[in-house]
Amino acid sequence: MALKSTIYKANLQIADMDRGLYADHALTLALHPSETEERMMVRLLAFALNVPPDNHDGALVFGKGLSDTDDPDLWRHSLDGTLRDWIDFGQPDDHRRLVRASGRADRVVLYCYAQSVPVWWQGIVGKLTRLNNLRVWQIPSEQAQALAGLAERSMQLQVSVQDGQVFVVSGERTAEIHPQLLYPAQ
């Protein structure tokens, strides 16, 4: 018998001063049996950092991700079917996944969050130099773990973004996140 996903509900209030975006979203997330709460919360953070101000050019939605290797974890199709955003998480074993995604989508974003990111990145960065629509972000491991500490089956989260710094608040608890851009190099 296959294990079922665990369902989490999140009411997300976003105040992104960097993008001038202020929005509320009621989200349902499925925690895949092989997924950690840390990864799920990084997915939630990525949603907050990438959601468009409106759905006029398509909505950002959760994809099959872990369940289907041909789908990203988050994506956005325009109303004419064009794949606008492909957003993934972790450290892909094969750089060709990012190359394929780059050929399919207008914008590809990868969020990495493990302690082993620097070693993995050194081995893969040379294979990605031609991908002009790729952005790779690192969430420091200890910050991703603090974010995971906010996970609850029913969440009320406030996400504030200013000058590239992210604060995620749940009641009296706060996780401070400082995403670091790995690619393209600044």
Task: Give how many domains the chain has, as a whole number.
Answer: 1
Query: How far is 152 from 44, CA to CA, in rounded Å?
Result: 12
Query: Has residue 152 been placed in a domain?
Result: yes
SS3 178: coil
170-179 pLDDT per residue, tens? 999 999 999 9
170/179 Cα distance (integer angstroms): 19
Does residue 9 carry a pLDDT above 90? Answer: yes
Query: At residue 74, does pLDDT exceed 90?
Result: yes
Q: What are the backbone dihedrals phi and psi of residue 96, each rounded to the nearest 5 degrees, phi first?
A: -65, -25
In a domain, 127, yes or no: yes
* 104: in domain: yes
CATH number at 78 reads: 3.10.640.10
Query: What is the percentage of the chain residues whose pLDDT exceeds 90?
Result: 85
Domain presence at residue 2: no
What mean pLDDT do residues 61-74 have? 77
Whether 96 is in a domain gets the answer: yes
Among candidate residues 70, 75, 77, 98, the one with its CA nearest the CA of residue 86: 75
**Average pLDDT for 16-43:** 95
Give the mean pLDDT of the chain. Answer: 93
Q: With contact defined as beta carbons under 8 Å apart, do 42 and 113 qualify?
A: yes
Is 178 within a domain? yes
CB atoms within 10 A of CB 178: 11
Please name every residue paired with 28 in a beta bridge, in sequence order, or none if there are none.
9
| Residue 166 maps to a domain | yes
Q: Which residues of 66-91 are buried (b: 16+ CB within 10 A; e: fewer)?
A: beeeeebbbbbbeeeeebebbbbbbb
**Adjacent-strand bridge partners of 181:** 137
DSSP 3-state percent helix, strand, coil across the chain (nearest 5): 25, 40, 40
What is d(CA 132, CA 168) in angstroms, rounded to the nearest whole number?
30
The amino acid sitting at 35 is E
- CB distance 27 to 44 below 8 Å: yes
Q: Which domain holds residue 17?
A: 7-183
Each residue of 132-172: pLDDT tens digit? 999 999 999 999 999 999 999 999 999 999 999 999 999 99
pLDDT at residue number 32: 87
Identify whether 57 is part of a domain.
yes
pTM: 0.94
Q: Are strands 6-16 and 154-162 parallel, antiparallel or unpaired?
A: parallel
